[in-house]
Structure 1
Amino acid sequence: MPESPLVQAFRENERDLVQFLVARLKSAFAAQDIAQELYLKVASLDGHEPVRNGRAYLFRMAANLAIDHQRRENRQVELLAEAQAWLADGQEPATPERTLIARAELRRLERALAELPPTTRRIFHLSRFEEKSQREIAAIVGLSPTAVFKHLRNALDHLAKVRDP
């Protein structure tokens, strides 16, 4: 099966795309990962409308993926700083008892997540772990933003009931 024009454009511009990503991300490893993600996205676009300027389209996609990557990285740094501040904020060191209690609560929440319908569980994951907006989630799962909101509310209500019996 012949390659799509966009996949061909990717192959022709791959070196330039990786250099562009290295300059943006300051990491050759991250640039390679993003370039691979870009290739997978481009390869999955077979059958879509043709793109007039494949090179420009690829660089725009690469820039968007780099921005998403940087946002995830920044969020992880924020969460780590938050966790460290919380841990250092006069908290007692973990004891075996506290560890057991925390593990039991974690298992209870994992079971509660498993009880959710698959669509609700996926929406919750996209929202809380992949930091997608309700609009982005709606596009991914094929529902309206209102339906996504309702799924999220149901998931949070269910988890709250399990956490606070």
Structure 2
Amino acid sequence: MTDQDTELIEGICRKDKRSFELLYKGYYKKLYILAFQYVRQPEMAEELVNDVFLKLWNDAEQLNIRQSLSSYLSRCVINTALNTIKKENRKAFHQEKFLSGYEESEMENDEAQMLENKLIRLEKALDSLPPQCKKVIMMSKFDKCKQQEIADALNISVKTVKSHLTNGYEKIRVMLSKEQVLFFFLFLLFAVELRLLHLNIVL
């Protein structure tokens, strides 16, 4: 440690503003360049160096520097820069995670709303069918009943069952768009008993 460093440190320990000004003017540029090499942002580098000087002044009475002043200040800047980078990375991670979760949530809500709208249209289309036709379609697609089983259960002919299915699908096709027709058949293929209760259909 040089004599000049010793004098500056002793002056700062006494809270001598002149000593602090000399220290600031003598090392600021070097420390700024060092900080910028780490954070790569001018404003952040400037703020970082000022924080180091401020901490040095606030802790002046507890200073215990045994190395050169240049090495001490450089180490303070590097440590502060690394901590700043960690905080920024952590903040960026949480922001990205939050935004990702928000976007996923928005997408899920939109998809749920679209699904609900399609189900409502499907219910209306089914409700528009004659009761017997509606019952035949539900037994065929939801209960996976064969045409003969439907005919026996409803006491009608297989030909009548086929007629109900053909006419029912045609009416639904007219009422729904192409996209909704695709959804309708997928819905019929994968529907579950819970949905039957929701539709309030008694077979």
Q: Report the TM-score, using the length of structure 2 for normalisation.
A: 0.41
Which of the pair is proportionally richer in helix? 2
**Structure with bigger gyration radius:** 2
Q: Report the TM-score, using the length of structure 1 for normalisation.
A: 0.50
